[in-house]
């Protein structure tokens, strides 16, 4: 199963830990953005390439995880969530629901530990 993790760019170091935990459970995590050393915005060509890559990774994923624990000012992860809404795939939110679109079609967990307990039990 391929999983995509979306979240705030500032949270990527924290999310790398959870990516590894998912990998340890046997999942493939396709979120290349987690390994980006710097935010490329406003470099147009680099940012455009990253956005296309992320959407391609979501398109082939079997499940989508949105981390909302850290607020984002860019909103990229919410665009990605919207893209995932259009796909028939399980969607999970970890953290608070920060807008009304996050009420649609996703299961919500307060913490990563709660989510991992749930997800691990599905294997």
**3-class DSSP state for residue 65?**
strand
pTM, entire model: 0.93
pLDDT tens, residue by residue, 14-29? 999 999 999 999 999 9
**Domain annotation for the chain: domains and CATH numbers:** 2-121 (3.40.50.450)
pLDDT tens, residue by residue, 74-104? 788 989 999 999 998 999 999 999 888 888 8
**3-class DSSP state for residue 107?**
strand
**3-class DSSP state for residue 30?**
coil
Please list the residues that pair with 91 across neighbouring strands: 64
| Distance, CA of 37 to CA of 21 (rounded, Å) | 21
């Amino acid at each position: 199963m391929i999983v995509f993790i979306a979240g705030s760019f500032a949270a990527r170091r924290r999310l790398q830990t959870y990516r590894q935990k998912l990998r340890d459970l046997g999942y493939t995590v396709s979120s290349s953005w987690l390994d980006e050393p710097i935010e490329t915005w406003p470099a147009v060509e680099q940012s455009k390439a990253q956005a296309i890559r992320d959407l391609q990774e979501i398109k082939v994923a079997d499940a989508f995880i949105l981390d909302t624990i850290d607020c984002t000012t860019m909103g990229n992860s919410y665009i990605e969530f919207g893209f995932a809404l259009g796909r028939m795939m399980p969607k999970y939110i970890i953290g608070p629901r920060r807008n009304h679109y996050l009420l649609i079609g996703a299961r919500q967990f307060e913490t990563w530990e709660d989510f991992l307990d749930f997800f691990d039990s599905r294997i």
